[in-house]
C-alpha cells in the first residue's frame, strides 16, 4: 500500500464511504433525491433535452419508483437471496420508459419523490445494518447494496445536467454528491479486482478520493488543500461530470486550463477495471486512449455509462 496516499489507505475490509462516513453517505443519497425531486417539480416534462433526443419525461421516468422498475423492496429481496452478477439496466430503462410513457405528469413526479422517500427510509432504518453490506447484482456487476444506492447519485447528477436545456438548474450539492458517488464506485470496482490504486477529484466545492488495496477500498472527503491526493483530476464538479458523460470538449478544457490531471501514470493502475465492467471497450483500446490527449475522458467515461 506504499503507493497510496496516506489519506486514502483503506482499513481492512473497508467498503468505501459505507465504512468511512456512513452518515455522510446516507445524507448525500437522501439529499440528492430530494433535490432532484424539487428540480422535476417545476419542469416541463415534454420539453426536449440534449440527451440523445430524449424529452425530459423520458429522462425522468426511469428514475422513478415504479412497480416494474426493480423497486427497492425487490433489490433487497434479491440481496437476501444472493442474486449477484450483472444486471441489464439498459434493457430495464427502455422497458420502463415504454411502459410508463403515458403516465400523467403528477404520477411521474410522485414516482421520483417516492423513490427518494423509500431510499431514505431504508438508509435511516434498522434494516440497513442487516442488508446494507450484502452483495447484489448491478449494471457494474456485484456491489454491496449501500454502495449500489450511493452510485445512483451519479445518474441523478448527470440527468440534472441533461435537463438544464429543458429549463432545469442543477444545484451544486446535487453535482457534488454525484461526483462523490462516482468516486466511491471507482474504488469499489478497483477493490473487486484487488487492485492497489487511487484516484482523486479536486474541485472548488469538494475534494474526494478513493484508494483500493487488498480487496478493500476507502472513499474520503479530503479537506486539507495541502494533503497528498495522489493521481487525480482537477476541475469543476460540473465539468468532471460532463467529461464522464461524454459531453465535454476535453482537449479544449485542457487548453483553457479548466481541466487538469495529476500523475497520469498513476491513473493507469485503474485500467484493468475495464476487464470486468460490462459493456465497455477492451483494455487495449483503453490504454491507447489513456496515452492520447483525451486520456481523462477515456478513463472516466468508463464509469459514466447510463
Q: Domains in the chain: how many in total?
A: 1
46-68: average pLDDT: 95
Q: What is the pLDDT of residue 52?
A: 82
Domain annotation covers residue 200 = yes
Q: Is the pLDDT of residue 266 over 90?
A: no
Q: What is the pLDDT of residue 254?
A: 81
Question: To the nearest whole number, what is the mean pLDDT of the chain?
Answer: 87
Q: What is the pLDDT of residue 60?
A: 98
Q: Per residue in 139-153, pLDDT tens?
A: 888 999 999 999 999
How many degrees, rounded to 5, is the angle at CA 262 between CA 155 and CA 12?
A: 70
Q: How many CB atoms lie within 10 A of CB 272?
A: 17
Cα–Cα distance for residue pair 223/211, rounded to 1 Å: 16
Q: Within 13 Å, how many C-alpha atoms sit on residue 141's CB side?
A: 17
pLDDT band (50, 70, 90) for residue 245: confident
Domain annotation covers residue 1 = no
Q: What is the pLDDT of residue 273?
A: 67
What is the domain extent for residue 176?
A: 6-301
pLDDT band (50, 70, 90) for residue 282: very low
**Strand, coil or helix: what is 30?**
helix
Q: Per residue in 187-242, pLDDT tens?
A: 999 999 999 999 999 999 999 999 999 999 999 999 876 678 899 889 999 999 98
Task: Dump the DSSP string for 65-88.
Answer: --TTS--HHHHHHHHHHT--SB--
42-54: average pLDDT: 92
Task: Give me Rg for the CA atoms of the chain.
Answer: 18
In the chain the first and final C-alpha atoms are separated, in Å, by 32
Q: Per residue in 155-179, pLDDT tens?
A: 999 999 999 999 999 999 999 999 9
Q: What is the pLDDT of residue 297?
A: 53
Domain annotation covers residue 216 = yes
102-120: average pLDDT: 97
Looking at the whole model, is its pTM more than 0.75?
yes
Q: How far is CA 201 from CA 37, 186, 306, in A?
A: 26, 12, 21
Domain annotation covers residue 203 = yes
Q: Is the pLDDT of residue 279 over 80?
A: no
Cα–Cα distance for residue pair 96/117, rounded to 1 Å: 20
Q: Is the pLDDT of residue 93 over 80?
A: yes
Expressed in percent and rounded to 5, the helix, strand and coil fractions of the chain are 55, 10, 35
264-284: average pLDDT: 57
In 76-224, the DSSP E strands lie at 135-136, 143-144, 197-202, 207-213, 216-221
Domain annotation covers residue 47 = yes
Q: Is the pLDDT of residue 296 over 70?
A: no
Domain annotation covers residue 226 = yes
pLDDT band (50, 70, 90) for residue 290: very low
Amino acid at each position: 500500500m506504499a503507493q497510496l496516499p496516506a489519506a486514502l489507505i483503506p482499513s481492512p475490509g473497508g467498503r468505501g464511504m459505507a465504512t468511512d462516513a456512513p452518515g455522510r453517505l446516507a445524507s448525500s443519497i437522501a439529499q440528492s433525491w430530494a433535490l432532484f425531486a424539487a428540480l422535476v417539480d417545476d419542469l416541463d416534462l415534454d420539453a426536449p433535452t440534449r440527451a440523445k433526443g430524449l424529452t425530459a419525461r423520458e429522462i425522468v421516468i426511469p428514475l422513478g419508483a415504479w412497480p416494474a422498475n426493480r423497486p427497492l423492496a425487490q433489490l433487497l429481496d434479491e440481496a437476501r437471496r444472493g442474486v449477484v452478477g450483472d444486471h441489464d439496466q439498459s434493457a430495464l430503462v427502455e422497458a420502463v420508459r415504454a411502459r410508463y410513457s403515458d403516465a400523467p405528469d403528477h404520477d411521474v413526479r410522485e414516482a421520483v419523490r417516492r423513490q427518494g422517500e423509500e431510499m431514505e427510509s431504508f438508509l435511516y432504518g434498522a434494516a440497513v445494518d442487516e442488508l446494507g453490506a450484502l452483495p447484489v447484482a448491478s449494471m457494474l456487476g456485484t456491489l454491496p447494496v449501500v454502495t449500489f444506492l450511493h452510485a445512483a447519485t451519479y445518474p441523478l447528477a448527470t440527468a440534472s445536467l441533461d435537463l438544464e436545456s429543458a429549463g432545469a438548474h442543477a444545484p451544486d450539492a446535487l453535482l457534488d454528491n454525484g461526483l462523490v458517488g462516482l468516486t466511491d464506485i471507482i474504488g469499489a470496482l478497483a477493490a473487486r479486482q484487488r487492485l492497489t490504486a487511487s484516484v482523486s477529484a479536486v474541485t472548488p466545492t469538494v475534494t474526494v478520493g478513493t484508494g483500493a488495496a487488498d480487496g478493500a477500498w476507502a472513499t474520503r472527503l479530503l479537506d486539507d488543500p495541502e494533503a497528498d491526493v495522489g493521481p487525480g483530476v482537477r476541475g469543476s464538479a460540473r465539468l468532471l461530470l460532463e467529461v464522464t458523460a461524454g459531453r465535454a470538449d476535453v482537449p479544449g478544457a485542457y487548453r483553457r486550463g479548466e481541466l487538469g490531471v495529476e500523475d497520469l501514470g498513476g491513473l493507469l493502475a485503474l485500467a484493468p477495471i475495464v476487464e470486468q465492467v460490462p459493456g465497455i471497450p477492451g483494455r487495449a483500446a483503453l490504454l491507447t486512449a489513456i496515452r492520447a490527449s483525451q486520456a481523462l475522458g477515456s478513463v472516466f467515461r468508463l464509469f459514466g455509462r447510463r
